[in-house]
């Protein structure tokens, strides 16, 4: 097996840091590693496999000789620099929303549509965190029973909004416990007009609102699910909610399968043996997925699987995963591993 020239763009961010830990842990075959960032973070020293790397400012020239570049530095950086990287021969795995709905860009969750990687034109998009964990759980069901309808309500962690949002949550929490004043400044959305208390609260807004009353986060879940599963006709609806949880997204998902007749026992068996899934479903012993227990693990955890009481083809489940891992860094590294496996990296 060859080793590859790798670049990580956004190496000092929450996801970038996690990407480095995941590359270490997976022992990804690295010939050389370049850590890139904005001008602001350039010069920082980051350790990888016991060796210190100085973070450099990302420029078009940074990508000379790079074979694979993992981007997680915001959509505008990807828009500007991903084509420059591709021009210089790199394959880009982009963790922003910049290219996800581009028809020329595969949007990939390896457990679901790894083969779509073959059609890449240099850029591969990593889906939104809340979408990834859901489609991993849905795919085995789609394959066996067909899938007609999905209604999801999310319980999302603040780390999806970055390190500053985590700080804000902790500061606010402390202020409330101490009976002190505070002014929300970041959440729900750094770039929006108003900010609300996240500590001891639940905010039904993630990302900005669209004209149709849905947020961009909700539309990402809807559109990306259809694209990844290659099912334009799938009915998908989402309500996305931010919680005072540091890391670990939870999702309450209602589905209707095409075919009736499935039992909960069959579904549990199916999901227990599906790739990337850990079944945690034993109500009698209070076993179900918890955000607090998924942190640092690559899998998607599924439990609380119940038959709808009215529709034979209806099921409910609870899906939890580490939004920084399967929702971001791990899925990106997994795409890199799939590129190696499919011999798509040159």
* Shortest separation between residue 313's beta carbon and a second copy, angstroms: 13
Q: Which of 5, 120, 240, 249 is catalytic?
A: 249
Q: Which one, of 72, 99, 36, lies nearest residue 331 by Cα?
A: 72
Instruction: Dig out the tokens for 175 from the structure.
Output: 């202020």
Strand ranges of the sheet holding 4-9, from the earlier edge strand across to the other edge: 56-57, 30-37, 4-9, 68-71, 91-94, 123-125
Nearer to a second copy (CB atom), residue 46 or residue 240: 240
* Shortest separation between residue 224's beta carbon and a second copy, angstroms: 14
Nearer to a second copy (CB atom), residue 247 or residue 298: 247
Q: Is 129 a catalytic residue?
A: yes
Could you give the angle at the alpha carbon of 290 between the alpha carbons of 315 and 129, nearest 5°?
A: 75
Q: List the end-to-end C-alpha distance of the chain, in Å, as a whole number.
A: 12
Tell me the binding residues.
12-15, 40-41, 100, 156, 159-160, 242, 323
**Where along the sequence are the contacts to a second copy (CB under 8 A)?**
149, 151, 153, 155, 170, 173-174, 177, 188, 192-194, 196-197, 200-205, 209, 212-214, 222, 235-237, 239, 241, 243-246, 250, 252, 254, 264, 283-286, 288-292, 303-311, 314, 316, 318
Nearer to a second copy (CB atom), residue 7 or residue 324: 324
Task: For residue 341, give every residue at least 6 positions away whose Cβ sits within 8 Å of its Cβ, in sequence order, or none.
Answer: none
Task: Kindly write down the DSSP assignment for every residue of 166-204, as one continuous string.
Answer: HHHHHHHHHHHHTT------SSS-TTSS-----TT--BS
Tell me the binding residues for substrate.
156, 242
Tell me the binding residues for NADP(+).
12-15, 40-41, 159-160, 323
* Shortest separation between residue 323's beta carbon and a second copy, angstroms: 13
Nearer to a second copy (CB atom), residue 246 or residue 337: 246
Q: Is 249 a catalytic residue?
A: yes
How much of the chain is in helix, strand and coil states, percent to nearest 5? 35, 25, 40
Burial (Cβ within 10 Å: 0-12, 13-18, ≥19) of residue 193 = exposed
Active site residues: 129, 249
């Amino acid at each position: 097996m060859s080793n590859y020239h790798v670049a990580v763009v956004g190496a000092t961010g929450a996801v970038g840091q996690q990407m480095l830990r995941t590359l270490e842990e997976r022992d990804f075959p690295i010939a050389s590693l370049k850590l890139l960032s904005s001008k602001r973070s350039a010069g920082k020293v980051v350790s990888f496999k016991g060796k210190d790397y100085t973070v450099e400012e990302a420029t078009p020239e940074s990508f000379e000789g790079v074979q694979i570049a993992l981007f997680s530095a915001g959509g505008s950086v990807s828009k500007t620099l991903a084509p420059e990287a591709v021009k210089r021969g790199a394959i880009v795995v982009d963790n922003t929303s910049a290219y996800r709905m581009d028809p020329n860009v595969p949007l990939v969750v390896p457990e679901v549509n790894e083969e779509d990687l073959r059609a890449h034109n240099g850029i591969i998009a990593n889906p939104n965190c809340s979408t990834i964990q859901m489609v991993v759980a849905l795919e085995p069901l789609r394959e066996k029973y067909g899938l007609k309808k999905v209604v999801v309500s999310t319980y999302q962690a603040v780390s999806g909004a970055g390190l500053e949002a985590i700080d804000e949550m902790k500061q606010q929490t402390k202020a409330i416990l101490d009976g002190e004043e505070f002014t929300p400044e970041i959440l729900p959305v750094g770039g929006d007009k108003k900010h609300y208390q996240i500590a001891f609260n639940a905010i039904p807004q993630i990302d900005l609102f669209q004209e149709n009353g849905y947020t961009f986060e909700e539309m990402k879940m809807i559109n990306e699910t259809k694209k990844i599963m290659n099912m334009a006709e799938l009915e998908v609806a989402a309500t996305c909610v931010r919680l005072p949880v540091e890391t670990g997204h939870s999702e309450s998902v209602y589905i209707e399968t095409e075919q009736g007749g499935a039992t909960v026992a069959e579904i549990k068996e199916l999901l227990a043996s599906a790739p990337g899934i850990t079944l945690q479903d034993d109500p009698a012993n209070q076993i179900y997925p918890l955000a607090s227990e998924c942190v640092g693990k690559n899998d998607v955890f599924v439990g609380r699987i119940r038959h709808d009481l009215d529709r034979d083809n209806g099921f409910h489940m609870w899906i939890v995963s580490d939004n920084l891992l399967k929702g971001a860094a791990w899925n990106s590294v997994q795409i890199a591993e799939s590129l190696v496996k499919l011999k798509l990296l040159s």
